[in-house]
Amino acid sequence: MTLTLAAIEEKQSELAQMIEHFKSQRMPFIIPNATINLRHGERYAGIILDDEGNPDHHLILLPGEAEAIQWEDAKKWAADHDGELPTRREQAVLFANLKGEFKEAAYWSGQRYKDERYAWYQYFDDGYQTFNDTYGELRARAVRRLAIL
């Protein structure tokens, strides 16, 4: 068999069709059945995906909130309530699914900014996320996480 440009182009076309067919296939996205027992005052917020888009954990918003609290104190407050401050990704889900559970104010996340003097927070009036000096006083809510196995 003699290799020709026409033969190569034909194989390239065939390969392109195979790639398009593969891309059009539906891949299963499996979320295992779960029964989540909520404690009094807790609210189910949703499923958090990992960086690859796979289900990672269920997010539970705990009752209560702290007002006018610095970041380190907010982390301690959350731990004292058997939780943690939410990540930025979790705050976005909380804004999308449970916005009504928050005052229209700024709430600390549990994530520091690249400059360690600052930490991220989210406004729950418009969903905007930015960072602030950790000595600033914002509000805080705690969450707990249930791993999806």
23-74 per-position pLDDT tens digit:
888 777 677 678 899 999 999 999 999 998 889 999 999 999 999 999 999 9
Neighbours of 21 (CB within 10 A): 9
CA dihedral 75, 78, 84, 85 (to 10 degrees): -60
Which pTM was predicted?
Answer: 0.81
Residue 34: the pLDDT is 81
Instruction: List the structure tokens of 121.
Output: 């927070």
Residue 29: the pLDDT is 67
107-140 per-position pLDDT tens digit:
999 999 999 999 999 999 999 999 999 999 999 9
For the cut 70, the answer to whether the pLDDT of residue 1 exceeds it is no
Domains and CATH numbers, the chain: 64-143 (3.10.100.10)
